Amino acid sequence: MNALSPLTPGRAELTVLVAAPHGFCAGVDRAIRIVELAIERYGAPVYVRHEIVHNRYVVDALKAKGAIFVESLSQVPDGVPVVFSAHGVPKAVPEKAEARGLDYIDATCPLVSKVHRQAERANEAGRHIIFIGHAGHPEVIGTLGQLPEGAMTLVESVDDVATLTPPDPDKLAFLTQTTLSVDDTASVVAALRHRFPSIQGPRGEDICYATSNRQDAVKAIAPRCDRVIVIGAPNSSNSLRLVEVAERLGTPAHLIQRGVDIDPAWLADIATLGITAGASAPETLVREVIDAVAAHRPIAEQTIVSAEENMVFKLPRGLEPAA
């Protein structure tokens, strides 16, 4: 161990700026509670189609309570309840569940459900929908699956907009995945409006409040930091966007899932570290990471608040906990 090792006692104090808001959003809180209440109501096991949210710690905790996670409805036995994840599912999934007589509970985030309704309305108005999102993401698969095949076209970038050949350029609408980069999406929307001046967009932004707030919170701390740590899963879209936001501001950023993932070299010879967490990461992991940092360097922790959140979503009817 050399004299500059981050593990050397007596290192200079490290300022840790914790972005706020961070971590769980109302949709994630609701989805996790739905699984817990379903287990209480039906007894274990309760099946969940796809990870309820993209966080291994959360998934493992629910497994310990009696949840079984599967990727396909065909993996769910007859006669047991199934929960659909917060990301939403194609319409064909609940139709198949009903055809099999399965009890199912839809934990789709209400803000994702809102995008589904917008897609239906645009389709009913005779508009072809340009959907901005990341191919293969469960939310995108679920949204595209709300309408017949061919009713929506997925674009991921400004370059994709340049190659679009819609059936009627004058009868278009656009919608977006809820967990995108605010800045990237604005560029794609601008390109769409430039190329198709009559295209209609949603009345309000589809990117959810939690995604926007967490990106703004990173923007508030990243310029003051030598490095940023983002707590979240590698398949979490909103967490990956937080890494991108920090790096675009010139601050090196790392996505980790647990405190043990910290590379001590990241903490060597820096004065200020930023910490945030994606919308699927529980506060327990935030504290774990801060404690792990403190094991390497003495810290002075500050919380930088850029927005207040008080959103709460109702639980599905029949699942409300007893008073």
CA distances from 321 to 39, 164, 315 (A): 12, 48, 9
Q: Which of 95, 139, 156, 320 is catalytic?
A: 139
Dihedral sign for Cα atoms in the order 67, 71, 73, 77: negative
Rounded distance between C-alpha atoms, residue 146 and residue 142, angstroms: 7
Per-position DSSP letters for 41-72, written without gaps between them:
HH-S-EEEES-SSS-HHHHHHHHHHTEEEESS
Give me the residue label for tokens 């593990």: 7
CA distances from 167 to 126, 151, 195 (A): 11, 10, 14
Q: Collect all residues with Cβ–Cβ distance below 8 Å to 283 and sequence separation of at least 6.
A: 23, 24, 277
Strand order in the sheet with 152-155: 152-155, 128-132, 172-176
Per-position DSSP letters for 84-151, written without gaps between them:
E-TT---THHHHHHHHTT--EEE---HHHHHHHHHHHHHHHTT-EEEEES-TT-HHHHHHHTTS-TTS
320 belongs to the catalytic site: no
Task: Give catalytic residues, as residue numbers.
Answer: 139
